[in-house]
Amino acid sequence: MSDTTRDHGPASGQPQGCAIEAFRPLVRNTLRGFVRCRFPSGLVIDEIAIHVGAGDGRAWASPPARPMIDRDGAVMRDQRTGKVRYQHLIAFSTPRVRSAWSEQVIAAVRAQHPEALAIEEEVSQR
């Protein structure tokens, strides 16, 4: 029996999706916070950003990223919007794979921390 099957397979009764190990709320624009997620393979990813669209309530997860730095050590900004530019630290082979990953993370957040996905209007009414 492989370690994956013994520790995270159907025989163990654990879900096949990821498990949220930690949630750090931070509400700013579409951002709702950050999670640390353990995947069935044993991979743990920290600083996954959780977002919820203001108008439609659609939720998505973004992999960890860091601000892009120029040669002089200054944070790079988009010339048009002035927003900080970020470089993702994890890549996906296709948009479909990225979408499936995001859906898996959001499903775990929805199950373990549904309050994190509240849309802005709901948050302001509390």
CA–CA dist 59, 61 (Å, integer)? 7
Tokens of 11: 């025989």
Q: What confidence score (pLDDT) does residue 13 get?
A: 42
Tokens of 9: 């397979």
Q: Quick one: which of 67, 61, 65 has its CA closest to 35?
A: 61
CA–CA dist 110, 119 (Å, integer)? 13
**Does the predicted model carry a pTM greater than 0.85?**
no
CA–CA dist 68, 85 (Å, integer)? 6
Q: What confidence score (pLDDT) does residue 36 get?
A: 97
Tokens of 33: 């916070």
Residues of the chain with pLDDT under 50: 1-15, 120-126
